[in-house]
A and B are shown apart, each in its own frame.
Chain A
Amino acid sequence: AQSVTQLDSQVPVFEEAPVELRCNYSSSVSVYLFWYVQYPNQGLQLLLKYLSGSTLVESINGFEAEFNKSQTSFHLRKPSVHISDTAEYFCAVSDWRSGGYQKVTFGTGTKLQVIP
Chain B
Amino acid sequence: AQKVTQAQTEISVVEKEDVTLDCVYETRDTTYYLFWYKQPPSGELVFLIRRNSFDEQNEISGRYSWNFQKSTSSFNFTITASQVVDSAVYFCALRTTGTASKLTFGTGTRLQVTL
A binds B: no
